Structure 1
Amino acid sequence: MHIAWIGKKSPFCGNVTYGREVTNALLDRGYEVSFLHFTQAEDEEHTWSGYKEVSLPCLYKSQVYTIPSLKASKVLTRSLKQLQPDLVHASLTLSPLDFLLPEICQELNLPLVATFHPPFDGKRRNLKSGTQLFTYQLYAPFLAHYDQVIVFSQLQRNFLVRLGVPPHKLAVIPNGVDVIKYSPGYSDFKSKLDAKRLFIYLGRIATEKNIEALLRAWKQSNLGEESKLVIVGNGPLLSSLMPFYGEEYGIIWWGFEADEQRRIELLRAADVFILPSLLEGLSLSLLEAMACGVACVATDAGADGEVLEDGAGVILNTHRVSSQLHTLLPVFRDHLEWTTLLGQKARQRVLERYTLSGNISRLEKLYAEVLNAGRVHVSGAPLH
């Protein structure tokens, strides 16, 4: 089967990781994959082997959104005509072309599947969750015209159903992790960082990730010289936070780590992984930490609370994150047995529910169902 994958290669984000991991797994299972992605003239080359690649022209792109050039739609349509894939899979959100894809694929008689990534908090507890709700409201009428839309949790599915997406168009296939690559193992990073207890955050340094709540709690907890907090990632808040939370508090600003093996070694060295987000979809970083056997703490934003439920980790409410962490951090420092047990439970949860191989098998089944069903629109009318 030939899959035309429309996704991202840069800048680095969860959508990029998702596209790389899933398409590599599809290639390993014998699929032909063509990768269509937005590029600018000044972009560095991001080469992933095994693909036919198509560059879609754009004026601007960021971790959040892309502005395509005026001719991007024509390039996309022409490329799909030439490639003649069996199925198109778009990893959203990408650009305003997301809204045109159903019409383009209908004209070409191509089945269309989407994976819908935007983070959310279905409980609408903060300003950011209200802003993200607008994204869901904006996309819902267009998602209804895709043949199938993949979401990461039942909570996310119910959210979109309430916004009018037909239930039969929504498939729950959680993110998955390569549990052989991401696994417990030896790492010397703790000794290199001169830490007896090592805590880690891995992700964007952005408002919705609520990093400042973690930093305030860490600073107030005064855990001592032998405890270190490593912040791995970059983002718009980096320069404003670093001056106030430095090495004098045991905080190490690692920056963005492009090397996957080094990220794995950092996770293997950690005692505790912390994700204080106000908004999430289903965090791949959380699943990767769990797969490495790290005790995990995360808010119940998005599907992360669902991942950690029933004892697989510690779940925080998105309200008063600092005060909750202020209470928990000394407990994690002082109780090695508890963190070890939580790490074991986290690894077991991933093995049960969130393996990449299981994810791909469910995706293969979905592809087969979409192809067998043919192009049927709920309305029975052509798109306009």
Structure 2
Amino acid sequence: MTHIAWLGKKSPFCGNVTYGLTTTEALRLRGHEISFIHFDTPPGSLGADAGANGGEVALEVALPYLVKSQVYTIPSPGAQRELRESLERLRPDLVHASLTLSPLDFRLPDLCQQLGLPLVATFHPPFDASVRNLSAGTQQLTYQLYAPSLARYDRVVVFSDLQADVLMRLGVPARRLAVIPNGVDPERWCPAPSPSTAEHLADLRQRFAGQRVFLYMGRIATEKNVEALLRAWRLVQPQGCTLVVVGDGPVRQSLMQAYGAEIGVHWWGHEPDQARRAALLQLAEVFLLPSLVEGLSLALLEAMASGTACVATDAGADGEVLEGGAGIVISTQGVTTQLRTLLPVLRDQPVLTAELGRRARQRALERYTLSRNIDQLELLYAELVPQGSLAA
């Protein structure tokens, strides 16, 4: 088995955190040794971290930081030295960095080359697949900024062919890229109540009795375009339906002030409990994702695996995920207008939403399971780590 030094985030809650924790848990359960290196306090600590769900105990290293948010991280001046010393102590077979939009991301290739360690990056920043002029937009500038450094990583894990195409046009060699879509556990995210979700689901059914639930779950930030969804909901106000908005973010308060009194909008807030999030998806009839830019949304994959009818924009790879009838794909242009047309249809056609939910679940099982994701990661690791150097 392989000893992997995983460099990522454990907080604050965001897609990057979910990806890192879920992936390392699955790798541990397959017998790999994981040393999790992340930004936290106290700085420079080296201790044991019990794996979730019975996984093997892993070493955990905390690096000091100045600023840490859902979007980016600014390390302390001594973080690079602490990272180097930690890698020298741990002596992993391979380093896998789930990139945190941090200055350390650009220094890793030199550091790992000096230490003789293979280096893998997971690069999942959102983008708008319809934008072909990469000189425009903050997200496109992120890709331009990172491309020269990504070309020096041994492998860069991306989630779709669309994203790989963007990076290749910016000069990242195709041989460096590995298209490995995000994956979810279809037993944890499933249509039927489980022992962990049954009580939560019963409570939710009582709370929203007589209402059909439409759900948004994710960060409430400008790029997520939640306001377009709220405008459409205000215009339609579908009778007998409730829009539940789960999440937090920089524009939540302003949107609550503007739309807080709307009939049929329930502001749930941040939900840290995974079982309760799973129950919300089991309860919901429709999952709505109006993003302007996106990567490959884990929330969307979780909704699909839960058998919830999904409506998403074609931002990032989300349109690719739902294409061919697995959901309804709308354009990032004119989201409010499109949703204003769709919401009455979804309200009046429960048979349609049930069929869309069935197809979403089937697509998730075919292409986007966690086990499929881990299978591909293991093959990638095997290419980079000589068999004679694997950890016992």
- TM-score of the pair, normalised by structure 2: 0.91
Equivalent residue for 1:253, pick from 232, 256, 267: 267
**Are the equivalent residues in 2 in contact too, given 1:190–1:198 (CA < 8 A)?**
no
Aligned position for 1:34: 35
Give the 3 Å change call, closer, same or farther, for CA 142–373 of structure 1 in structure 2. farther
1:235-384 counterparts in 2 under 5 A? 235-246=249-260, 248-372=262-386
1:1-384 counterparts in 2 under 5 A? 1-40=2-41, 49=51, 50-124=57-131, 130-186=137-193, 187-188=201-202, 189-224=204-239, 226-246=240-260, 248-372=262-386
Work out the CA distance in 1 between the residues paired with 2:133 and 2:267: 27
Work out the CA distance in 2 between the residues paired with 1:172 and 1:282: 12
Shift of 1:320: 0.3
1:100 counterpart SS class: helix
The C-alpha deviation readout for 1:153-182, integer Å capped at 9, x for no partner, is 000001100000000000000000000110
Shift of 1:48: 5.5
- TM-score of the pair, normalised by structure 1: 0.93
Percent of residue pairs bearing the same amino acid type: 61
Give the 3 Å change call, closer, same or farther, for CA 234–319 of structure 1 in structure 2. same
Shift of 1:47: 6.2
The C-alpha deviation readout for 1:27-75, integer Å capped at 9, x for no partner, is 0000000000001459xx9966332000000011100111111100000
Which amino acid in the other structure matches residue 181 of structure 2? P
> Any gaps of 5 or more consecutive residues in structure 1?
375-384
Work out the CA distance in 2 between the residues paired with 1:132 and 1:31: 34
2:333 counterpart SS class: coil
Work out the CA distance in 2 between the residues paired with 1:27 and 1:3: 10
2:310 counterpart SS class: strand
**Are the equivalent residues in 1 in contact too, given 2:246–2:269 (CA < 8 A)?**
yes
Work out the CA distance in 1 between the residues paired with 2:87 and 2:42: 22
1:30 counterpart SS class: coil
Shift of 1:10: 0.4
Which amino acid in the other structure matches residue 93 of structure 1? T
1:249 counterpart SS class: coil
1:265 counterpart SS class: helix
- The CA RMSD over aligned residues, in Å, is 2.0
Give the 3 Å change call, closer, same or farther, for CA 46–276 of structure 1 in structure 2. farther
Work out the CA distance in 1 between the residues paired with 2:132 and 2:266: 31
**Are the equivalent residues in 1 in contact too, given 2:180–2:376 (CA < 8 A)?**
yes
1:261 counterpart SS class: helix
The C-alpha deviation readout for 1:307-357, integer Å capped at 9, x for no partner, is 000000000100000000000001111100000000000000000000000
**Are the equivalent residues in 2 in contact too, given 1:9–1:46 (CA < 8 A)?**
no
What is the total number of aligned residue pairs between the two structures? Answer: 371
Mean Cα deviation higher: 32-41 or 128-137: 128-137
**Are the equivalent residues in 1 in contact too, given 2:50–2:58 (CA < 8 A)?**
yes
Give the 3 Å change call, closer, same or farther, for CA 326–128 of structure 1 in structure 2. farther
**Are the equivalent residues in 1 in contact too, given 2:182–2:298 (CA < 8 A)?**
yes
Work out the CA distance in 2 between the residues paired with 1:333 and 1:22: 37
**Are the equivalent residues in 2 in contact too, given 1:39–1:55 (CA < 8 A)?**
yes
The C-alpha deviation readout for 1:58-113, integer Å capped at 9, x for no partner, is 01110011111110000000000000000000001341000000000000000000
Work out the CA distance in 1 between the residues paired with 2:191 and 2:134: 38
Aligned position for 1:380: none
Which amino acid in the other structure matches residue 297 of structure 1? V
**Are the equivalent residues in 2 in contact too, given 1:300–1:318 (CA < 8 A)?**
yes
The C-alpha deviation readout for 1:282-313, integer Å capped at 9, x for no partner, is 00000000000000000000000000000000
Work out the CA distance in 2 between the residues paired with 1:196 and 1:355: 31
The C-alpha deviation readout for 1:239-266, integer Å capped at 9, x for no partner, is 1010222254210000000000000000
Which amino acid in the other structure matches residue 198 of structure 1? V
Work out the CA distance in 2 between the residues paired with 1:35 and 1:129: 35
Give the 3 Å change call, closer, same or farther, for CA 53–68 of structure 1 in structure 2. same
